[in-house]
Structure 1
């Protein structure tokens, strides 16, 4: 359980030292009061750009000194801190129990976080890029090194694009980059497939009941080949495909092969139809089901539940499904923070309720009161 959260010059907060009174918390208040900022701060305790996906330079409080910091203490004694790097606004660094970790994956191995935001309601009708990012967040929560594979592929691909744009490039150098692209692409795709298989099994076992069950899949040539061939053979095929497509890729300034071409497929398991064809309320219920199934999977594989952050989760949910969500949270007993504008909608949820109001003192902080 996250027992203490400390913010310094973060978003709308000049300073805040918040002692969490319970395992599950509900923050309510008007729009713009700072509720989502609290969840965003908690989401930054794990690697990545947090639940908003914002640039790190945007996190510093306007009118502040220019930096920002978030620190947390957990009931098991774990301490995690993160904040801006002086002179490098688009970088941040971590402290794990007061010591700089060797890699951010060390932090991810200590804490997992899962979140749901209103922006994710567009997942089913969003671009393939949005669904890939959603899938990769699910993977990283269980396989922290997945982020390195994606970043390494993107770096090698960008270097290859620059070389192919030159009138005369070194074929051996390009081949070396294509070798790296193939290795990282296959590793990343295998991790995605592994997560999808385990999450499908979790959902099939009823981890998200009574929310609608979905079936996940991956539309990706690399994934199709991995279903029938060994990883090394797929790497060989991908190296050959990249070499054969150099002229085409040079013209479009992008690689035609790789994990950046994949799409997450989501279908209603009972009806068999794509989730994009379901109603808005049904889509929201499916999304919650995926998140709850992911929480159950993390709990089973890591032996501890993740931190669950639900920003405005009750939008598009009727009374029956609100009750189903509350029952699921109680059953899972995961540490959960939820936000909403109307406290009455959370009736029936076993959680501490806190009101968030803009402070009248210089608009630099917000008061949290039971």
Structure 2
């Protein structure tokens, strides 16, 4: 799997730029603020259908512009694809695969698979549960198209139910819809919980093995935490759904009083442990970074085991945040597959079998 070329038009600080990538390692150099991360964001968007630095796709537009395009030609599973993302200030993003407009984002999510690793991720262990849920969802939406559809519907239901609860004091009649939304959220939530549980099990096994290679004297483990009433997240969807229904019905008055959805997979977490203790609370900075590093490399391995080919690895200036030992560890683990690395340091290129080097300045290749 690799991106052959990427064309950006009016995207971020790029007016017009075309990149032909090497199937192995691509080094993207330049000073801060020149557009290196913007390039990786465009590549990642062709996989996830979103911009990893903002929830508002219109923020990807170049200043003063109303429209932008990202065009990617890539190879996956032995087939060639052309993907076009059209961003607009006034409309939702339009997606074209091989020239044909797609109705849903989930129809193309995961055709191209990417794993993104940026400096902010190094604090994933200590961030809130929402960051870890996004980490899980980003991977699962690429691996399982049905999961992306379930997640999209659940988020929509959650938003509607939250508005019902929020406005119910002024309009009590809205509460007549509370049960319908709660039951539907339980049905969809059961599917989400099962997907997450199975993925977390595989992810933690793979991450523990990677961590042991870096720090053999320590043991990384963890657990997937979901609604307390769910006795077994690996049980049938019907059983989980009933447990979710029982839980939410028993908490109806509490939700009305709080004016928010108090339980559901929107509050799930991935708890990480080092030698049986909370990595977030007791881990040193080096241990926390090694945990995240292990999770990201494990994610890449799981993608490989799923498809038989590595996803495109996007490293956004993360090597400069690691000490030399961890730098070398990462570089030794990414000898296969396509890699795009942004950096400001000239010394990084000496450690790479670089296939292509791009020097970026003010959104232009020089």
User: Is the pair's TM-score, using the shorter chain for normalization, greater than 0.5?
Assistant: yes
Pairwise mapping of residues 211-226 of structure 1 onto structure 2 (< 5 A)? 211-212=214-215, 214-221=220-227, 224-226=230-232
- Alpha-carbon deviations, 1:137-156, whole Å to 9, x = none? 12222123323222322322
Shift of 1:232: 1.3
The separation in 1 between residues aligned to 2:333 and 2:297, in whole angstroms, is: 8
- Structure 2 CA distance for partners of 1:208 and 1:304, relative to 1, 3 Å: farther
The separation in 2 between residues aligned to 1:227 and 1:357, in whole angstroms, is: 47
The separation in 1 between residues aligned to 2:236 and 2:271, in whole angstroms, is: 23
The separation in 1 between residues aligned to 2:39 and 2:163, in whole angstroms, is: 41
Q: Is the 8 A contact 2:47 2:110 kept in 1?
A: no
Corresponding position of 1:32: 33
What SS is found at the alignment partner of 1:78? Answer: strand
Pairwise mapping of residues 338-357 of structure 1 onto structure 2 (< 5 A)? 338-352=341-355, 354-357=357-360
2:242 counterpart (236, 244, 259): 236
Shift of 1:238: 1.7
The separation in 2 between residues aligned to 1:209 and 1:111, in whole angstroms, is: 30
- Structure 2 CA distance for partners of 1:138 and 1:216, relative to 1, 3 Å: farther
The separation in 2 between residues aligned to 1:307 and 1:228, in whole angstroms, is: 30
TM-score by length of 2: 0.89
Shift of 1:57: 1.1
Shift of 1:201: 3.0
- Tell me the number of residue pairs that the alignment of Structure 1 and Structure 2 aligns: 354
- Alpha-carbon deviations, 1:250-291, whole Å to 9, x = none? 2211111101221211123xx333222222233222212211
Shift of 1:38: 0.6
Shift of 1:222: 5.4
Pairwise mapping of residues 1-370 of structure 1 onto structure 2 (< 5 A)? 1-64=2-65, 66-75=66-75, 76-85=79-88, 87-88=90-91, 91-164=92-165, 165=168, 166-169=171-174, 171=176, 173-204=177-208, 206=209, 210-212=213-215, 214-221=220-227, 224-227=230-233, 229-268=235-274, 271-276=275-280, 277-330=282-335, 333-352=336-355, 354-359=357-362, 365-368=363-366
Shift of 1:28: 1.7
Corresponding position of 1:362: none
The separation in 2 between residues aligned to 1:201 and 1:249, in whole angstroms, is: 36
The separation in 2 between residues aligned to 1:229 and 1:292, in whole angstroms, is: 28
Q: Is the 8 A contact 1:308 1:337 kept in 2?
A: yes
The separation in 2 between residues aligned to 1:44 and 1:158, in whole angstroms, is: 24
Q: Is the 8 A contact 1:284 1:316 kept in 2?
A: no
TM-score by length of 1: 0.88
Q: Is the 8 A contact 1:208 1:293 kept in 2?
A: no
Shift of 1:118: 1.3
- Structure 2 CA distance for partners of 1:101 and 1:304, relative to 1, 3 Å: farther
- Alpha-carbon deviations, 1:287-309, whole Å to 9, x = none? 12211111111111122221111
